[in-house]
Amino acid sequence: MKGTHLGEFEELVLLTTAVVDGNAYTVSIVSEIENSTGRKLTLSSIHTALVRLEKKGFVTSYMGGTTKERGGRRRRLYKITAPGYAALNQARETRTKMWDKIPELSFDFKGLT
Amino acid sequence: MKEKRPPKWADKILQWYCLEYYLEEVQGDLHEWYYENLKHSSRFLNLRYYILIIRYFSLTRSKSFQKLITNPNYLSMKKILLITYRNLKKDKISGFMRLANLAFGISVFLLALIYANYELNYDRFHEKGEDIYRIGQEHGGDRAWAAGPIGLGPYIMENFPDIKKMCRFIPVTETWMEAGEKKLYEDGVYYVDSSALTLFSHEMIQGDKKTALTDPWSIVLTESMAKKYFGDEDPMGKTMQLLVDRGKSRKVTGVIKDVPAQSHLQFDFLCSVYSYGDEDFQRSWRNYFVYTYMEAEKESIDKLREQVRMAFLENYGAPKDTPLVAILTPLHRIHLYTNQEKDNADHGNIYNVYILFSIGVFVLIISCINFINLTVIKGLDRAKEVGLRKTVGAFRPQLIAQFMGENMVLLLFAGICSALILVLVEPFFKELSGLELPLNFINNPQVLLSLAAILIGLELISGIYPAVVLSNFRPAEIIKPLGSTSMKLKKVGLTRKILMITQFSLSLILVIGSIIVYSQLSYMKERDLGFEKEQILLIKLNYSLNRKIEALKQSLAETTGVNHVTVSGDVPGYRISLEPMKIPGDPEEYMSRFLLTDDHFIDAYKIDIKEGEDFNDINPGQPQYIINETMAALSFGDRNPIGQQLVWRDTGRVVGVVKDFNFKSLHSEVEPLTLVRSLDNGYGYVSIQFNAKATDNVLSEIDRISNEVYPDLPKINPEFLDDRFGQLYLAENRLQTIVWFFCLITIVLTISGIFGVASYNAHKRQKEIAIRKVLGAGSSEMIWQLLKGFIVLLGSALLIGLPGAWYLANWWLQDFAYQVSINPLIFVGATIAMLVMIFLSSGLVTFKATNTNPATILKNE
């Protein structure tokens, strides 16, 4: 297996998959990300990220139901796995640790004048 | 309103590229996205849909890519590459040696191939080349003549309808050209028929092929000459004067591309032949200086040969049974295969092509043997790998594929390396050999194809053997050696020994061969020609120089440092004319080289008089002849030639016989020669014999005299006679350099071969060495133990190599008129050289092995 590093974009997609758990597929993830962050993303980039996450073992997928708009085509639903959850957690912990290390910053650059 | 639907074509594109696995999901998503967006805004929706589908395209979702990477062949190839990479990484030295061997071998072979290709492709750029012949003739078994009479062309054109086109080329030996301010000597001037540009395929830059040379006072020049005389101005319509035209001027009517190097006929200017003498002269048969080319179908050639023969006989009024043969030389054969009298073609030598090509093949074989040996040796270390693979379930074809695949990777890499080597070596090689070879063969499809063929051939030869041997090991035997495996290993050893013997023999042949080629060539260059060629300057005379010849001679003779000044019709080193001589009362004609000279020739050239004396002033009305030994033997046999009568135009007497001297290069034997004293010379040469110490003074004086005596002519450009002889040996000089170059590579390859095998042997026997050492054996004793094998191999190789080299050397030498005697020391020397190579390369390895502390080796057990 390739590296299990979680990129920024992958992390976002994985997070969203967890958020909309049970109804996580490409279209729903796109709209969820747009709603919560304002980022407009294309279907293809999300799909590519999902495929990659699946290869890394962070999500699994199964075929779900369909709607009229889909013309009878089923959707592939993605579900976060335990390793995926652990990876998310680790990313958050790393971040928290790093935040804690930041000393008090002053932004008023008085010394420069 | 019609309901809006996702465009069908977009869906088709998706279906075309998308992997089945993702199709349903992706298409569903897309449709959902489409209808979702339809609710908000339908502007450019279809276009956006298309873009989205294109953006969906990626390798992971592509049908064909996924098909490729799941293909079993791709997978095994990937595996082979991986294992090859790991093996090379594990043993860098061995990998490098194998690669270097192949790359060197292939480069040398390609070099030889490109050279042969270059030489064999002379005159191939003419579209009608296959149907063009040069007409020459041969009389009674004498040497064939390349040139013929000026009347031949028009005569055959009018009388034989099978000849489609005819073109005469009349060389102008020494002339100057004048255009505006510029007045320079030129030697690439020809008078030609107007058909020259349509018969031959020289590319026309300006002017019209068909009409450029129809006007009698027209001239066509090459691109570089146009640049030389007219700079950036348009040369068309400009006028030029030629010395030989005696005051009339010519109009430039065309510019052609420079004549390609691969052309036997090299020229810079083409003048219309119709201004060359009057109509009667154009049809005369009493001269021999015109090269006549014709175009005719292959089928009619036999008929034409007979017709041309009859044309000669009729025009000479000779009887029908005269032993004269018309020689129609196909254009392509002129460069490599002819050696005709009075030929000014750029000649190559088919023997040189053979020699270099065989060297190329030999070197390739040697490097292949090295490669095979090293591969097998390396492979034996992998016996355990093979055993394990077989145990785990690999089939033999798979193992063979693995080994052959590894070789193919190396071969491809070596092929790329050798291409790079050739490109890098190109300027260097050009400098060394003087040959303008197109070594950068990336855009030469012929060479590229042969490279591909070589690689496949090498893969078959040097890949199959190791692959078969190595894949043949049986797992049980490898892991627990029993009698049969050691037998097998011994057999591998035997083949390897045969390969080593072959390699040693070939190296011996190459080394000995190079030394003999080298010594023959330097022998030719340094042999005493029988006259003085070192301190002689030549001035070519022409019509305008000749008018004040006495003044010129006078001033030259008065110059300090000049010992002798002599005027003669021809000089040694250039072609000397051939004339029939007769003896009163003898019907026979004796063909002899014929030299018109003044009184000083014998002194100036320091020729030894054997009998009789130099020209004298007794009876000045009668011609006096001096002949050489060969001529004396030919015409007078045992009689004393002195005082005998001899007839050229007038009857005269022989006053002296000179020792034979080589007035041509040593490619040919001394021919009969007759010197005639003539007080009023035709055009020819002034030879100045000078004192070596005064060279600079003599040269500057010639400059001054040139300005003084001929104020309105271009400056005289004297030539050193030994430079001229150097030119005659140009081909030999090139061959010499190339042969050395190849010889050096052979030696390097042989050393690397020995080195490889020796290090393997030392490695295999390191335990034995260690134990012997512990038991008290000395280093020198053990080195001997390891060397012994090589000495035996060399002994067997000597049995093949020495006679082989001797035979080949004799075959090559038989073509020379003057052969160096083969010195047996060469053979001894080469043998010793091989021994030294073996001692040095294997000794070094062995010494290292024997000097290792036994404990380091034995502790591993």
What pLDDT sits at residue B431? Answer: 77
Q: Is residue B717 left, alpha or beta, with left meaning phi > 0 and alpha meaning psi from -120 to 50?
A: beta
Report the alpha-carbon distance of residue B628 to residue B630 in Å, rounded.
6
Give me chain B's average pLDDT, please.
84
Quick one: tokens of B258?
């420079």
What distance in Å separates residue A109's CA from the closest CA in chain B? 46
- Closest to B447 in 3D by CA, of B785, B115, B780, B841: B115
φ, ψ at B604 (rounded to 5°) = -65, -40
Q: Which CATH architecture has domain A8-99?
A: Orthogonal Bundle (1.10)
Same domain, B307 and B199: yes
Are the Cβ atoms of A74 and B28 closer than 8 angstroms?
A: yes
What pLDDT sits at residue B24? Answer: 86
**How confident is the model over B761-778, as a mean pLDDT?**
78
**How confident is the model over B708-716, as a mean pLDDT?**
83
* Euclidean distance between the first and the last CA atom of chain A, given in angstroms as a whole number: 55
φ, ψ at B747 (rounded to 5°) = -65, -45
> Over pLDDT 70: what percentage of chain B?
96
Here the ipTM equals: 0.84
Number of A to B CB contacts under 8 A, please give it. 61
**How confident is the model over B105-122, as a mean pLDDT?**
88
Amino acid letter at B821? S
Angle formed at CA B764 by CA B760 and CA B767, multiple of 5 degrees: 140
B488 has pLDDT over 60:
no
More confident residue, A53 or B173: A53
Helix ranges (H only) for B381-533 are: 383-392, 396-433, 445-458, 464-471, 475-479, 483-526
**pLDDT band for position A112 (cuts 50, 70, 90):** low
What pLDDT sits at residue B399? Answer: 81
**How confident is the model over B325-342, as a mean pLDDT?**
88
Report the alpha-carbon distance of residue B451 to residue B64 in Å, rounded.
32
Same domain, B293 and B360: no
pLDDT digits (tens, 9 = 90+) for B717-752: 888 988 888 888 877 777 788 788 778 888 888 888
Q: Cα B376 vs. chain centroid, distance in angstroms?
A: 36
**pLDDT band for position B588 (cuts 50, 70, 90):** confident
B798 has pLDDT over 70:
yes
Same domain, B703 and B723: yes
More confident residue, A102 or A106: A102
Domain-terminating residue out of B305, B322, B339: B322
**Within a domain: residue B106?**
no
**pLDDT band for position B484 (cuts 50, 70, 90):** very low
Same domain, B630 and B719: yes
**How confident is the model over B698-708, as a mean pLDDT?**
88
**Within a domain: residue B795?**
yes
Same domain, B631 and B701: yes
Tell me B459's DSSP state: I
Which 3-state string (H, E, C) describes B643-688?
Answer: CCEEECCCEEEEEEEECCCCCCCCCCCCCCEEEEECCCCCCCEEEE
Report the alpha-carbon distance of residue B445 to residue A66 in Å, rounded.
59
- Confirm if B547 and B710 have CB atoms less than 8 A apart: no
What pLDDT sits at residue B296? Answer: 92
Report the alpha-carbon distance of residue B337 to residue B351 in Å, rounded.
10
What pLDDT sits at residue B54? Answer: 85
Residues B77/B82/B84/B87 CA torsion (nearest 10 deg):
-160
- Show Cβ contacts of residue B216 under 8 Å, excluding neighbours closer than 6 positions: B272, B274, B275
pLDDT digits (tens, 9 = 90+) for B240-282: 988 878 778 899 999 999 998 889 999 999 999 988 888 888 8
Tell me B202's DSSP state: P
What pLDDT sits at residue B37? Answer: 84
pLDDT digits (tens, 9 = 90+) for B822-834: 888 889 988 998 8
**Within a domain: residue B117?**
no
- Confirm if B292 and B152 have CB atoms less than 8 A apart: yes
Are the Cβ atoms of B52 and A42 closer than 8 angstroms?
A: yes
> Over pLDDT 90: what percentage of chain B?
16
Report the alpha-carbon distance of residue B115 to residue B438 in Å, rounded.
9
What pLDDT sits at residue B485? Answer: 46
Q: DSSP string spanning B731-757?
A: HHHHHHHHHHHHHHHHHHHHHHHHHHH
Among A57-66, B489-498, B697-706, the minimum mean pLDDT is found in: B489-498
Report the alpha-carbon distance of residue B358 to residue B376 in Å, rounded.
27
A73 closest CB neighbour out of B24, B52, B58? B24
Nearest CA in chain B to A69: B32
Domain-terminating residue out of B69, B88, B118: B69
With tokens 């400098």, the residue in question is B431
Same domain, B688 and B738: no
Q: How many domains does chain B have?
A: 4
- Containing structural domain, residue B369: 350-525+730-858
φ, ψ at B355 (rounded to 5°) = -60, -50
**pLDDT band for position B1 (cuts 50, 70, 90):** very low
Are the Cβ atoms of B33 and A27 closer than 8 angstroms?
A: yes
More confident residue, B856 or B482: B856
Which residues in A lie closer than 8 A to residue B28 (C-beta atoms)? 66, 70-71, 73-75
Same domain, B718 and B742: no
B425 has pLDDT over 60:
yes
**How confident is the model over A30-37, as a mean pLDDT?**
91
pLDDT digits (tens, 9 = 90+) for B373-383: 888 777 767 77
pLDDT digits (tens, 9 = 90+) for B197-234: 999 999 999 999 999 999 999 999 999 999 999 988 89
Same domain, B692 and B809: no
What pLDDT sits at residue B487? Answer: 47
**How confident is the model over B772-789, as a mean pLDDT?**
79
- Closest to B493 in 3D by CA, of B847, B749, B757: B757
Which residues in B lie closer than 8 A to residue A30 (C-beta atoms)? 33
Are the Cβ atoms of A76 and B25 closer than 8 angstroms?
A: yes
A2 has pLDDT over 70:
no
Query: Which of A28, A41, A46, A69 to mutate to probe the B interface, most B CBs <10 Å?
Result: A69
Which of B241-255, B346-360, B705-719, B795-809 ranks highest by mean pLDDT? B795-809
- Show Cβ contacts of residue B601 under 8 Å, excluding neighbours closer than 6 positions: B566, B568, B595, B607, B675, B687
What pLDDT sits at residue A1? Answer: 41
Are the Cβ atoms of B32 and A48 closer than 8 angstroms?
A: no
The CB density around residue B514, as the number of other CB atoms within 10 Å, is 22
Are the Cβ atoms of A51 and B60 closer than 8 angstroms?
A: yes
Quick one: tokens of B328?
């129609």
Domain-terminating residue out of B676, B700, B728: B728
Q: Taking an 8 Å Cβ-Cβ cutoff, which residues of chain A contact chain B?
A: 25-27, 30, 42-45, 47-48, 51, 63, 66-67, 69-71, 73-76
φ, ψ at B345 (rounded to 5°) = -75, 160
Same domain, B65 and B163: no
Report the alpha-carbon distance of residue B100 to residue B506 in Å, rounded.
19
Report the alpha-carbon distance of residue A50 to residue B261 in Å, rounded.
65
